[in-house]
Amino acid sequence: MTNREHDRVYAVPALPAFTFHELDDRLLAGRAPLTKVDVGMLADVGVTRILGLREEHDDLAPELLGVWGS
């Protein structure tokens, strides 16, 4: 994913930018979605595992259809 594709994803008004917070030593929490650029940034700060808790309806919101590409 290029930075251009990353920017296109976050250009959707209903989609807030990815952010994360440190909850405890070696425990971070953040909001989805993640682009490859976001995952690279997390890897740069030492993240080795990501647990996704999205549900099907999160991906099917009408304002987000087409955001993820095909």
Three-class SS of residue 59? helix
pLDDT at position 43 is 92
pLDDT score recorded for residue 65: 55
* Model pLDDT, residue 63: 59
The rounded Cα 42 to chain-centroid distance in angstroms is 10
Determine the Cα–Cα distance for residues 62 and 13; give it in Å rounded to an integer: 12
For the chain, list residues with pLDDT below 70.
Answer: 1, 32, 57-70
50 with 34: CB under 8 angstroms?
A: yes
